[in-house]
Amino acid sequence: MRMRPFPALMLLGAVILSCSNLFGQITISEVRLVYPQAVDDEETCKDLYDKFESEKKKLTPLMMGYKGSINALMSKHSGNPFSKMSYFNDGKKLLENAIRADSANAELRFLRITMQVNLPSFLMYNENIEEDKVLLISQLPSVSNEKTKKTIATFLIKSDCTTAKEKKKIEELLN
């Protein structure tokens, strides 16, 4: 008895479609890799934004924080003032919710401090810089991802929000 090709193709198609969500999910590794490019590259930012928008599973606090940061970055790439504020407010809300869910997470605090240091002061989103900086310096040795640890340290060393004494301590922590 010969199997008809049409039902076999239908079965194969169903398997592929059921697996597409599995392969389409965004990972923290992908986000960490692409996020720095999204800061200055509009296409990369939009691509990451679209991936987060199509994500169907519940996000971890860290992924929610990155989604919030990407939303806020979309305001940088938008020409419409109303869209800019909408992207920023949505992003800020997501990031703050993520931090409330995991307040000791250094990577989330890093996302917030980079946003607060770089945003215009008229947005009045700069009240956590000192708190985040202190947490980041104290948590830096326990950041498990080496690339993330180096990124956080480099930001703090180059930032105007960090004193010379703090910069020296950060450099010592890296060695």
Low-confidence ranges of the chain (pLDDT < 50): 3, 5-23
Instruction: For 14-31, write each residue's pLDDT tens digit.
Output: 333 333 334 468 999 999
Supply the pTM of this predicted model: 0.84
Cα→Cα distances 17→5, 11, 12, 21, Å: 18, 10, 9, 8
pLDDT of 16 reads 32
